[in-house]
């Protein structure tokens, strides 16, 4: 995560506070000095850091905090509250016009991930029942149009393009195309530059005038620190930005942009790109991000990921099999597949409370073991998956050869499966409870 170093240093500062039964003003001021240094090293704006530390200090030296039974926890709560406020306070939704089609104009510097993450956002809106259209208005960057078409095809989204025509004409024609084909949401992928120039801004202003966008979404690379904030300010001055999407939040850079951009521009962060996969995008929740930064996990986002990947029909079928005490290796494979669809094991572990960045960094997540388990199950016949008791010595050797593993790996898998099967048999209750459990089996060993 982009805040890994910041999270580690804040945890170290608060650990000193937790070791004291009562806190004095000097204890808090010393902790705030460390917080200040941690924020500055994370490339947060000096003015933002100054105001943040001042507010936290004033709230922390109050009598109700110093005399509370757990003053350290009170201080951490204050820091969490102020971090949340700094990043916007609450979730802010995408502006959608009542007049169809509603236009989202994607702007930003070249290299911020505008094309891919704009398409990810369109796919996210498609899941809510919208019919988005992607529009290729970047005629300058080599292969930009091809990139948008490729991503659009992978996400099942239509792409409108007119080759190297004038971007303003392309935008105008795209709106007519959207009206004719029933697309109620239009995402215009505009050109970027390595730096802001007058020619770029003039073109963007003309596209804005012709399309009247409900949302001008600025795409910002979280790894560029204060440069990202400066770019955001320039785009806002020229166009009037409505919202911000932060990309590359899965990187290991300092991440100060996320903590500065809202305070400097006054514009809300609405979405965050969290990885290279085409489903690695999420609504930006300031309170959850503050919780992650302070090492308190993000269980709500983890639950939402699980619900998003859940298949209602499969969950119902699973519930029925569980009710009948049936749990096959095919079911076991389905749970592994669902777990993989939620992201990497390291990303999932990072959302769990109590897993701090430093400990997580040194942890070993054997994704290869999961792939090996999949290969073993897929090397079995359907009959063997439904009846593992058939797996004698010769069958195990055949499966080991087919999956590139050893017989000992197959025995280990069967032992894990047996443990889960025993757990299922121990479960009791009505069909509603079984259905709930069927959904919860998204994590092997739940």
Place of tokens 């939704």: 93
What does the alpha-carbon distance between residue 212 and residue 102 come to, in Å, rounded to a whole number? 9
Domains of the chain: 4-86 (1.20.120.140), 102-294 (3.40.50.300), 303-440 (1.10.260.30)
Q: Which of 302-311, 393-402, 406-415 has the lowest mean pLDDT?
A: 302-311
Average pLDDT over residues 422-446: 47
Q: What pLDDT score was predicted for residue 171?
A: 95
Residue range 228-266, pLDDT digits in tens: 778 888 888 888 899 999 888 776 556 677 778 888 888
Considering 262-266, 370-374, 404-408, the range whose residues carry the highest mean pLDDT is 404-408
- Predicted TM-score (pTM) of the model is 0.66
Q: Which helix (H) or strand (E) holds 247?
A: strand 243-247
Q: How far is CA 401 from the centre of its chain?
A: 38
Q: Which helix (H) or strand (E) holds 354?
A: none
Instruction: Give the residue from 59, 72, 90, 99 showing the smallest Cα distance to 10.
Output: 72
What does the alpha-carbon distance between residue 261 and residue 223 come to, in Å, rounded to a whole number? 13
What does the alpha-carbon distance between residue 132 and residue 185 come to, in Å, rounded to a whole number? 5
CB atoms within 10 A of CB 210: 15
What residue spans of 19-113 are helical by DSSP H?
25-41, 46-60, 63-66, 71-86
What does the alpha-carbon distance between residue 126 and residue 114 come to, in Å, rounded to a whole number? 18
Residue range 201-223, pLDDT digits in tens: 899 999 999 999 999 999 988 77
> Could you tell me what percent of the chain has a pLDDT over 90?
29
3-state SS class at 231: helix
Backbone φ and ψ for 421, nearest 5 degrees, come out as -65, -40
């Amino acid at each position: 995560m982009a805040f890994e170093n910041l999270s580690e240093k804040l945890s170290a500062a608060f650990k000193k506070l937790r070791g004291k039964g009562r806190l004095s003003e000097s204890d808090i001021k010393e902790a705030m000095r460390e917080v200040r240094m941690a924020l500055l090293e994370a490339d947060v704006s000096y003015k933002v850091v100054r105001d943040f530390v001042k507010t936290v200090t004033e709230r922390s030296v109050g009598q109700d905090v110093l005399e509370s039974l757990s003053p350290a926890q009170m201080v951490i709560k204050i820091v969490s509250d102020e971090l949340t406020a700094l990043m916007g306070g609450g979730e802010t939704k995408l502006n959608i016009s009542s007049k169809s089609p509603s236009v989202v104009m994607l702007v930003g510097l070249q290299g911020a991930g505008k094309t891919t993450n704009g398409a990810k956002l369109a796919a996210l809106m498609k899941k809510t029942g919208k019919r988005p259209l992607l529009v290729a208005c970047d005629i300058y960057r080599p292969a930009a149009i091809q990139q948008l078409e490729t991503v659009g095809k992978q996400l099942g989204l239509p792409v409108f393009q007119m080759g190297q025509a004038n971007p303003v004409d392309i935008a105008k024609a795209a709106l007519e195309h959207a009206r004719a084909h029933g697309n109620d949401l239009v995402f215009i992928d505009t050109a970027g530059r390595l730096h802001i120039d007058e020619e770029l801004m003039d073109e963007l202003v003309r596209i804005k005038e012709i399309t009247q966008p409900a949302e001008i979404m600025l795409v910002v690379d979280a790894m560029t620190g204060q440069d990202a904030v400066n770019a955001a300010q320039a785009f806002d001055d020229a166009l009037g930005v409505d919202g911000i999407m932060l990309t590359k939040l899965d990187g290991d850079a300092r991440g100060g942009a996320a903590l500065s951009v809202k305070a400097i521009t006054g514009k809300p962060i609405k979405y965050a790109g969290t990885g290279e996969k085409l489903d690695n995008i999420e609504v930006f929740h300031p309170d959850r991000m503050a919780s992650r930064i302070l090492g308190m996990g993000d269980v709500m986002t983890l639950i939402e990921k699980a619900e998003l990947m859940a298949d209602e029909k499969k969950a119902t079928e699973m519930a029925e099999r569980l009710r009948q005490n049936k749990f096959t290796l095919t079911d076991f494979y389905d749970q592994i597949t669902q777990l993989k669809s939620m992201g990497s094991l390291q990303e999932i572990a990072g959302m769990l409370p109590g897993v701090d960045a430093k400990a997580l960094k040194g942890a070993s997540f054997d994704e290869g073991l999961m792939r090996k388990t999949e290969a073993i199950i897929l090397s079995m016949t359907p009959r063997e998956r439904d009846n593992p008791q058939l797996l004698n010595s010769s069958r195990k050797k055949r499966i080991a050869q087919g999956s590139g593993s050893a017989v000992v790996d197959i025995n280990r898998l069967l032992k894990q499966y047996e443990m889960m099967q025993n757990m299922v048999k121990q479960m009791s209750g009505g069909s509603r409870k079984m259905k709930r459990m069927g959904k919860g089996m998204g994590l092997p060993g739940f």
